[in-house]
Amino acid sequence: MKNSRKNIINNLKNKKEKDNIKKTERQIVKNKLKKQIEKQDNNKEINKLKKRKPINFKKLNKKASANSEPIGNITRKNKIKLELIIAIILLICLTVRIGVIQLIQGEELKSMAYVQQTLDRNINPKRGTIFDSTGKNILAVSSTVETITVNPVNIPKESKEKVAIALANIFNLDYETVLKKVNKRSSIETIIKKVEKEKADELRIWMNQNNISSGINIDEDTKRYYPYNNLASQIIGFCGSDNQGLDGIEAVYDKTLKGSQGKIVKVTDAKGGEIKNSTENYVPAIDGNDLILTIDSTIQGIAEKYLKEACIDNKCTDGGNIMVMNPQDGDILAMARISKL
Protein backbone atom coordinates (compact mmCIF):
# COMPACT_ATOMS: atom_id res chain seq x y z
CA MET A 1 0.00 0.00 0.00
CA LYS A 2 2.76 2.32 0.85
CA ASN A 3 4.55 1.70 -2.37
CA SER A 4 1.45 2.29 -4.42
CA ARG A 5 0.93 5.68 -2.77
CA LYS A 6 4.43 6.76 -3.47
CA ASN A 7 4.09 5.78 -7.05
CA ILE A 8 0.93 7.77 -7.40
CA ILE A 9 2.55 10.90 -5.88
CA ASN A 10 5.56 10.59 -8.15
CA ASN A 11 3.40 10.22 -11.16
CA LEU A 12 1.51 13.42 -10.26
CA LYS A 13 4.73 15.36 -9.83
CA ASN A 14 6.01 14.21 -13.19
CA LYS A 15 2.79 15.30 -14.86
CA LYS A 16 3.03 18.80 -13.37
CA GLU A 17 6.59 19.18 -14.46
CA LYS A 18 5.69 18.10 -17.98
CA ASP A 19 2.80 20.57 -18.08
CA ASN A 20 5.06 23.44 -16.96
CA ILE A 21 7.61 22.56 -19.59
CA LYS A 22 4.94 22.60 -22.27
CA LYS A 23 3.67 26.00 -21.12
CA THR A 24 7.12 27.54 -21.25
CA GLU A 25 7.71 26.09 -24.73
CA ARG A 26 4.39 27.56 -25.95
CA GLN A 27 5.28 30.96 -24.51
CA ILE A 28 8.66 30.90 -26.24
CA VAL A 29 7.02 30.11 -29.53
CA LYS A 30 4.51 32.96 -29.14
CA ASN A 31 7.25 35.46 -28.40
CA LYS A 32 9.21 34.36 -31.47
CA LEU A 33 6.10 34.79 -33.64
CA LYS A 34 5.49 38.30 -32.27
CA LYS A 35 9.02 39.39 -33.00
CA GLN A 36 8.80 38.05 -36.54
CA ILE A 37 5.50 39.90 -37.14
CA GLU A 38 6.97 43.16 -35.77
CA LYS A 39 10.01 42.83 -38.04
CA GLN A 40 7.77 42.29 -41.02
CA ASP A 41 5.71 45.42 -40.18
CA ASN A 42 8.82 47.53 -39.75
CA ASN A 43 10.22 46.33 -43.05
CA LYS A 44 6.94 47.28 -44.78
CA GLU A 45 7.02 50.83 -43.38
CA ILE A 46 10.66 51.25 -44.35
CA ASN A 47 9.90 50.09 -47.87
CA LYS A 48 7.01 52.58 -48.11
CA LEU A 49 9.25 55.46 -46.97
CA LYS A 50 11.91 54.40 -49.48
CA LYS A 51 9.37 54.41 -52.27
CA ARG A 52 8.28 58.02 -51.43
CA LYS A 53 9.91 60.91 -53.30
CA PRO A 54 12.19 63.23 -51.27
CA ILE A 55 10.70 66.67 -50.27
CA ASN A 56 12.16 69.63 -52.20
CA PHE A 57 12.36 72.38 -49.59
CA LYS A 58 13.68 74.98 -52.07
CA LYS A 59 10.51 74.73 -54.18
CA LEU A 60 8.35 75.05 -51.08
CA ASN A 61 10.17 78.26 -50.03
CA LYS A 62 9.75 79.75 -53.51
CA LYS A 63 6.01 79.02 -53.50
CA ALA A 64 5.64 80.52 -49.99
CA SER A 65 7.53 83.67 -50.99
CA ALA A 66 5.40 84.03 -54.14
CA ASN A 67 2.09 83.65 -52.30
CA SER A 68 2.90 85.67 -49.11
CA GLU A 69 5.41 88.21 -47.81
CA PRO A 70 7.95 87.55 -45.07
CA ILE A 71 6.93 88.24 -41.48
CA GLY A 72 9.49 91.09 -41.12
CA ASN A 73 7.87 93.13 -43.94
CA ILE A 74 4.40 92.67 -42.42
CA THR A 75 5.49 94.02 -39.02
CA ARG A 76 7.20 97.01 -40.64
CA LYS A 77 4.06 97.95 -42.55
CA ASN A 78 1.96 97.68 -39.40
CA LYS A 79 4.41 99.92 -37.53
CA ILE A 80 4.30 102.55 -40.30
CA LYS A 81 0.49 102.48 -40.30
CA LEU A 82 0.36 102.86 -36.52
CA GLU A 83 2.82 105.75 -36.60
CA LEU A 84 0.79 107.52 -39.31
CA ILE A 85 -2.43 107.11 -37.30
CA ILE A 86 -0.78 108.52 -34.15
CA ALA A 87 0.69 111.44 -36.13
CA ILE A 88 -2.73 112.28 -37.64
CA ILE A 89 -4.42 112.14 -34.20
CA LEU A 90 -1.75 114.42 -32.70
CA LEU A 91 -2.09 116.85 -35.62
CA ILE A 92 -5.87 117.01 -35.16
CA CYS A 93 -5.50 117.59 -31.39
CA LEU A 94 -2.91 120.31 -31.99
CA THR A 95 -5.14 122.03 -34.57
CA VAL A 96 -8.12 121.96 -32.19
CA ARG A 97 -5.99 123.36 -29.34
CA ILE A 98 -4.67 126.20 -31.52
CA GLY A 99 -8.24 127.01 -32.57
CA VAL A 100 -9.40 127.14 -28.94
CA ILE A 101 -6.48 129.40 -27.95
CA GLN A 102 -6.98 131.81 -30.86
CA LEU A 103 -10.76 131.95 -31.15
CA ILE A 104 -12.10 131.24 -27.65
CA GLN A 105 -9.32 132.21 -25.21
CA GLY A 106 -7.58 134.78 -27.43
CA GLU A 107 -8.84 137.96 -25.79
CA GLU A 108 -8.45 136.60 -22.25
CA LEU A 109 -4.85 135.45 -22.83
CA LYS A 110 -4.04 138.72 -24.56
CA SER A 111 -5.21 140.76 -21.58
CA MET A 112 -3.35 138.44 -19.16
CA ALA A 113 -0.14 138.85 -21.16
CA TYR A 114 -0.58 142.62 -21.20
CA VAL A 115 -1.02 142.73 -17.41
CA GLN A 116 2.02 140.49 -16.87
CA GLN A 117 4.34 142.30 -19.28
CA THR A 118 3.43 145.92 -18.55
CA LEU A 119 3.21 148.22 -15.56
CA ASP A 120 0.45 150.84 -15.69
CA ARG A 121 0.50 153.95 -13.52
CA ASN A 122 -2.82 155.78 -13.73
CA ILE A 123 -3.00 159.55 -14.19
CA ASN A 124 -6.18 161.09 -12.81
CA PRO A 125 -7.71 163.80 -15.00
CA LYS A 126 -8.48 167.24 -13.66
CA ARG A 127 -12.12 167.33 -12.67
CA GLY A 128 -14.24 170.06 -14.27
CA THR A 129 -14.82 173.33 -12.38
CA ILE A 130 -18.28 174.27 -11.11
CA PHE A 131 -19.19 177.99 -11.46
CA ASP A 132 -22.18 179.96 -10.24
CA SER A 133 -24.54 181.73 -12.67
CA THR A 134 -22.10 184.60 -13.24
CA GLY A 135 -19.45 182.23 -14.59
CA LYS A 136 -16.83 183.96 -12.43
CA ASN A 137 -17.33 182.68 -8.90
CA ILE A 138 -15.89 179.18 -8.44
CA LEU A 139 -17.94 176.85 -6.27
CA ALA A 140 -15.78 173.71 -6.80
CA VAL A 141 -12.36 173.32 -8.40
CA SER A 142 -9.61 170.71 -8.70
CA SER A 143 -5.97 171.55 -8.10
CA THR A 144 -2.83 169.58 -8.95
CA VAL A 145 -1.28 167.40 -6.25
CA GLU A 146 1.05 164.37 -6.32
CA THR A 147 0.68 160.65 -5.60
CA ILE A 148 3.71 158.68 -4.39
CA THR A 149 4.12 155.03 -5.38
CA VAL A 150 7.02 152.56 -5.26
CA ASN A 151 8.08 149.57 -7.35
CA PRO A 152 9.56 147.25 -4.67
CA VAL A 153 11.25 144.95 -7.22
CA ASN A 154 13.20 147.92 -8.63
CA ILE A 155 14.60 149.06 -5.28
CA PRO A 156 17.92 147.36 -4.35
CA LYS A 157 17.87 145.34 -1.11
CA GLU A 158 20.55 147.49 0.49
CA SER A 159 18.49 150.65 -0.18
CA LYS A 160 15.06 149.46 0.98
CA GLU A 161 15.48 150.50 4.62
CA LYS A 162 16.92 153.88 3.64
CA VAL A 163 14.00 154.53 1.26
CA ALA A 164 11.44 153.56 3.91
CA ILE A 165 13.00 155.94 6.47
CA ALA A 166 13.00 158.83 3.98
CA LEU A 167 9.38 158.29 2.93
CA ALA A 168 8.20 157.98 6.54
CA ASN A 169 10.03 161.18 7.60
CA ILE A 170 9.03 163.37 4.62
CA PHE A 171 5.32 162.47 4.68
CA ASN A 172 4.94 161.78 8.45
CA LEU A 173 4.01 158.12 7.96
CA ASP A 174 4.48 155.03 10.12
CA TYR A 175 7.92 153.57 9.37
CA GLU A 176 6.91 149.91 9.83
CA THR A 177 3.96 150.24 7.44
CA VAL A 178 6.13 151.90 4.79
CA LEU A 179 8.89 149.28 5.20
CA LYS A 180 6.38 146.44 4.66
CA LYS A 181 5.26 148.02 1.37
CA VAL A 182 8.85 148.58 0.23
CA ASN A 183 9.76 144.94 1.00
CA LYS A 184 6.80 143.43 -0.85
CA ARG A 185 7.30 141.45 -4.07
CA SER A 186 4.48 143.24 -5.91
CA SER A 187 5.11 145.40 -8.96
CA ILE A 188 3.65 148.61 -7.47
CA GLU A 189 2.59 149.88 -4.03
CA THR A 190 0.91 153.20 -3.17
CA ILE A 191 2.65 155.08 -0.34
CA ILE A 192 0.49 158.20 -0.09
CA LYS A 193 -2.10 159.98 -2.25
CA LYS A 194 -2.82 163.67 -2.88
CA VAL A 195 0.40 165.16 -1.53
CA GLU A 196 1.09 168.88 -1.92
CA LYS A 197 3.72 169.80 -4.49
CA GLU A 198 6.08 171.20 -1.81
CA LYS A 199 6.26 167.79 -0.09
CA ALA A 200 6.79 165.99 -3.39
CA ASP A 201 9.63 168.40 -4.20
CA GLU A 202 11.33 167.43 -0.91
CA LEU A 203 11.27 163.81 -2.07
CA ARG A 204 12.70 164.76 -5.47
CA ILE A 205 15.61 166.58 -3.78
CA TRP A 206 16.32 163.57 -1.53
CA MET A 207 16.28 161.19 -4.55
CA ASN A 208 18.80 163.39 -6.40
CA GLN A 209 21.07 163.58 -3.36
CA ASN A 210 21.05 159.77 -2.92
CA ASN A 211 21.30 158.93 -6.66
CA ILE A 212 17.99 157.02 -6.71
CA SER A 213 16.41 157.18 -10.15
CA SER A 214 14.13 154.11 -10.17
CA GLY A 215 11.75 152.40 -7.78
CA ILE A 216 10.03 155.59 -6.57
CA ASN A 217 7.33 157.23 -8.68
CA ILE A 218 5.87 160.72 -8.29
CA ASP A 219 2.72 160.96 -10.42
CA GLU A 220 0.42 163.88 -11.00
CA ASP A 221 -2.97 163.75 -9.28
CA THR A 222 -5.84 166.11 -8.47
CA LYS A 223 -7.62 167.18 -5.31
CA ARG A 224 -11.07 168.79 -5.01
CA TYR A 225 -11.43 172.13 -3.24
CA TYR A 226 -14.52 174.19 -2.36
CA PRO A 227 -13.47 177.87 -2.10
CA TYR A 228 -16.67 178.97 -0.32
CA ASN A 229 -16.49 176.06 2.14
CA ASN A 230 -20.05 175.06 3.08
CA LEU A 231 -21.84 177.48 0.74
CA ALA A 232 -24.42 175.54 -1.30
CA SER A 233 -22.81 172.31 -0.04
CA GLN A 234 -26.14 170.46 -0.15
CA ILE A 235 -26.51 171.40 -3.82
CA ILE A 236 -22.91 170.85 -4.94
CA GLY A 237 -22.30 167.66 -2.96
CA PHE A 238 -18.79 166.22 -2.62
CA CYS A 239 -16.22 163.79 -4.10
CA GLY A 240 -14.43 160.75 -2.73
CA SER A 241 -10.71 160.14 -2.50
CA ASP A 242 -10.65 158.79 -6.08
CA ASN A 243 -12.27 162.00 -7.43
CA GLN A 244 -15.61 160.28 -8.02
CA GLY A 245 -18.77 162.30 -7.30
CA LEU A 246 -20.68 160.88 -4.36
CA ASP A 247 -23.51 163.36 -3.76
CA GLY A 248 -25.29 166.40 -5.20
CA ILE A 249 -24.24 167.98 -8.52
CA GLU A 250 -20.88 166.15 -8.25
CA ALA A 251 -22.69 162.79 -8.42
CA VAL A 252 -25.47 163.70 -10.89
CA TYR A 253 -23.03 165.19 -13.45
CA ASP A 254 -20.12 162.87 -12.62
CA LYS A 255 -19.63 161.67 -16.22
CA THR A 256 -19.48 165.28 -17.45
CA LEU A 257 -17.08 166.47 -14.74
CA LYS A 258 -14.67 163.54 -14.28
CA GLY A 259 -12.99 163.34 -17.73
CA SER A 260 -10.93 160.35 -18.96
CA GLN A 261 -8.10 158.74 -17.03
CA GLY A 262 -4.60 158.71 -18.52
CA LYS A 263 -1.74 156.31 -17.81
CA ILE A 264 1.97 155.69 -18.05
CA VAL A 265 2.65 152.28 -19.60
CA LYS A 266 6.04 150.65 -19.08
CA VAL A 267 7.27 147.24 -20.27
CA THR A 268 8.58 145.05 -17.42
CA ASP A 269 10.19 141.65 -17.00
CA ALA A 270 8.45 138.54 -15.61
CA LYS A 271 8.97 139.70 -12.01
CA GLY A 272 7.67 143.19 -12.71
CA GLY A 273 11.16 144.67 -12.68
CA GLU A 274 12.37 147.47 -14.88
CA ILE A 275 13.99 146.62 -18.22
CA LYS A 276 17.00 148.74 -19.10
CA ASN A 277 16.74 151.07 -22.10
CA SER A 278 12.96 150.52 -22.24
CA THR A 279 10.74 153.54 -22.93
CA GLU A 280 7.54 154.64 -21.23
CA ASN A 281 4.35 155.15 -23.19
CA TYR A 282 2.58 158.24 -21.87
CA VAL A 283 -1.18 158.45 -22.46
CA PRO A 284 -2.35 161.91 -21.31
CA ALA A 285 -5.47 162.32 -19.22
CA ILE A 286 -8.42 164.25 -20.65
CA ASP A 287 -9.76 166.84 -18.21
CA GLY A 288 -13.46 167.01 -17.39
CA ASN A 289 -15.90 169.62 -18.61
CA ASP A 290 -16.89 172.68 -16.57
CA LEU A 291 -20.40 173.35 -15.27
CA ILE A 292 -22.21 176.68 -14.83
CA LEU A 293 -25.15 176.54 -12.41
CA THR A 294 -28.16 178.86 -12.21
CA ILE A 295 -27.25 179.40 -8.55
CA ASP A 296 -26.00 182.90 -7.73
CA SER A 297 -23.41 182.65 -4.96
CA THR A 298 -24.36 186.04 -3.48
CA ILE A 299 -28.09 185.26 -3.32
CA GLN A 300 -27.29 181.76 -2.06
CA GLY A 301 -25.24 183.20 0.84
CA ILE A 302 -28.03 185.62 1.75
CA ALA A 303 -30.68 182.89 1.60
CA GLU A 304 -28.69 180.54 3.86
CA LYS A 305 -27.97 183.35 6.35
CA TYR A 306 -31.56 184.54 6.73
CA LEU A 307 -33.00 181.03 6.75
CA LYS A 308 -30.81 180.14 9.72
CA GLU A 309 -31.78 183.36 11.55
CA ALA A 310 -35.48 182.77 10.85
CA CYS A 311 -35.31 179.23 12.22
CA ILE A 312 -33.59 180.46 15.40
CA ASP A 313 -35.90 183.44 15.92
CA ASN A 314 -39.05 181.45 15.32
CA LYS A 315 -37.77 178.38 17.19
CA CYS A 316 -38.20 176.07 14.20
CA THR A 317 -36.65 172.99 15.74
CA ASP A 318 -37.51 170.90 12.66
CA GLY A 319 -35.39 173.19 10.46
CA GLY A 320 -36.55 174.81 7.23
CA ASN A 321 -36.20 175.18 3.46
CA ILE A 322 -35.94 178.16 1.14
CA MET A 323 -35.83 178.50 -2.64
CA VAL A 324 -35.24 181.65 -4.70
CA MET A 325 -36.43 181.59 -8.31
CA ASN A 326 -36.11 184.04 -11.19
CA PRO A 327 -39.75 184.72 -12.19
CA GLN A 328 -38.80 185.60 -15.76
CA ASP A 329 -37.15 182.29 -16.80
CA GLY A 330 -37.71 179.97 -13.83
CA ASP A 331 -33.99 179.66 -12.99
CA ILE A 332 -33.24 178.62 -9.41
CA LEU A 333 -31.02 181.37 -7.98
CA ALA A 334 -30.70 179.93 -4.48
CA MET A 335 -31.79 176.81 -2.63
CA ALA A 336 -31.07 176.21 1.02
CA ARG A 337 -32.11 173.74 3.68
CA ILE A 338 -31.49 173.53 7.41
CA SER A 339 -32.01 170.27 9.25
CA LYS A 340 -33.20 169.97 12.81
CA LEU A 341 -31.60 172.52 15.13
pLDDT per residue as tens digits for the range 258-282: 988 888 777 766 555 666 666 677 7
| Confidence label for 203 from pLDDT (cuts 50, 70 and 90) | very high
pLDDT for res 21: 66
Between CA 2 and CA 75 the distance in angstroms is 100
Rounded CA separation 331/295 (Å):
8
- Contact in structure between 130 and 235 (CB atoms under 8 Å): no
Residue 198 has pLDDT above 80, yes or no: yes
pLDDT bracket for residue 2 (50, 70, 90): very low
Q: What is the pLDDT of residue 317?
A: 79
Q: How far apart are CA 121 and CA 36, in angstroms?
A: 118
**Residues carrying CATH 3.90.1310.10, the chain:** 121-129+140-227+244-288
Cα(102)–Cα(106) distance, rounded to whole angstroms? 5
pLDDT in tens, 164-177: 999 999 999 999 99
**Terminus-to-terminus CA distance in the chain, angstroms?**
176
pLDDT (0 to 100) of residue 122: 77
Of 290, 331, 322, 292, nearest to 304 by C-alpha is: 322
Three-state helix/strand/coil letters over the chain: CHHHHHHHHHHHHHHHHHHHHHHHHHHHHHHHHHHHHHHHHHHHHHHHHHHCCCCCHHHHHHHHHHHCCCHHHHHHHHHHHHHHHHHHHHHHHHHHHHHHHHHHCHHHHHHHHHHHHEEEEEECCCCCCEECCCCCCEEEEEEEEEEEEECHHHCCHHHHHHHHHHHHHHHCCCHHHHHHHHHCCCCCEEEEEEECHHHHHHHHHHHHHCCCCCCEEEEEEEEEECCCCCCCHHHHCEECCCCCEEEHHHHHCHHHHHCECEEEEEEECCCCCECCCCCEEEECCECCCCEECCCCHHHHHHHHHHHHHHHHHCCCCCCEEEEEECCCCCCEEEEEEECCC
Selecting from 3.90.1310.10, 3.30.2310.20, 3.40.50.720, 3.40.640.10, what CATH number does the domain 121-129+140-227+244-288 have?
A: 3.90.1310.10
Answer yes or no: is pLDDT of 340 > 80.
no
